[in-house]
Amino acid sequence: MSDPIKVLVTGAAGQIAYSLLFNVAKGNIFGPDTPISLVLLDIQPMMPVLEGVVMELKDCALPLLKEITSTADTDVGFKDIDVALLVGAMPRREGMERKDLLASNVKIFKSQGQALDKYAKKSVKVVVVGNPANTNALICMKYAPSIPPQNFSALTRLDQNRAQYQIANKCGVSAHDVHNVIIWGNHSSTQYPDISHATVKLSSGTKSVKDAVKDDKYLKNDFLKCVQERGAAVIKARKLSSAMSAAKAICDHVHDWWHGVPKGNYVSMAVCSDGSYGIEKGLMFSFPVTTHSDHTYEIVKDLAIDDFSRSKLDITLKELLDERDLALSVCE
């Protein structure tokens, strides 16, 4: 076996982490031969709860789990980590405005960026989950200047998974039969779930999603609305934000970033823009990416963007620019 990968999970006593930690420690993300050293970080009032989570992890008797560190000390939590899963944040409650959530959380991610810069390995891979995820990732990246910008990402895989299921359900197939659905932009209700380049495997062969569904009105209206507003719908039903599905999406995101995806396939990740598709350079924007076995990714280039899609990209771009400006004003 190789040396253990040191994985930090923040908000480790919370709902998402409770579904996530077993999958990390079991080998479902980094592989069945990769030992794991888990670092669990949460705020001091959550330490008694976190103690119970640690007990359960130990009781699972997982052979790959070599070490567990639980702490409320940021200096300890970020020391020499290989992967940072930044889950912890103030959760969005029913009726909460997004700007209020941003103001509450952005200072948390400023301090975590500073901790990454000071303590983490310079090769650390960072996934921001706490909302507003794109802008929190941007702030985290800004305050960790010694770590390459391409090492930072925010989670939009949950939105991709939601979109895949809706298309699969419409076509009567498995979600695994739907490929290359794209989430552009922000992890918010302005995101653009794009099926323009997606395919679906049917019993009669592989077709474009547009040809398989044969309902443009649905694809441009109800489908978009369902995916864009799914998070709010879950909150309305559960009175809590998505947890199980968010944990699954984190696993998918990190697994594919770590191991790569098959040639011809791409996945959605919010990453630092290089200027592609007219998106301002340096903005944390969800793009279609291809990932490789050396833990790198590339933004998929030169996909055709029609007028409808461009209008949707412009809407989510404006929101992200506004969020960035607000976040920087809070930080500074």
The residues annotated as belonging to the active site are 187
> Which amino acid, 271?
V
Is 161 marked as a binding-site residue?
Answer: no
Q: Which tokens is 150 given?
A: 């391409």
Tell me if 23 is assigned to a ligand binding site.
Answer: no
Q: Is 124 annotated as a binding residue?
A: no
Q: Is 136 annotated as a binding residue?
A: no
Task: Of 150, 320, 159, 130, give the one whose Cα is nearest residue 224.
Answer: 159
The SS3 call for residue 159 is helix
Q: Is 246 exposed, middle or buried (0-12, 13-18, 19+ CB in 10 A)?
A: buried
Q: Is 92 among the annotated ligand-binding positions?
A: yes
Three-class secondary structure of residue 11 per DSSP: coil
* CA-closest candidate to residue 241, choices 96, 105, 107: 96
On whether 42 is known to bind a ligand per the annotation, the reply is: yes
Sheet strands (E) in the chain: 5-10, 36-41, 65-71, 83-86, 125-128, 152-154, 178-179, 182-184, 192-194, 199-202, 205-208, 267-272, 284-291, 297-299
Alpha carbons 106 and 91: distance in angstroms, whole number: 13
Tell me how far apart the alpha carbons of residues 53 and 70 are, in angstroms, rounded to a whole number: 10
Is 324 labeled as ligand-binding?
no
Alpha carbon distance 259, 196 (integer Å): 26
105 annotated as ligand-binding: yes
- 8-state DSSP, 185: B
Residues in the annotated binding site for substrate: 92, 98, 131, 162
**Residues in binding site:** 42, 92, 98, 105, 129-131, 162
Query: Which residue ranges make up the annotated binding site for NAD(+)?
Result: 42, 105, 129-131
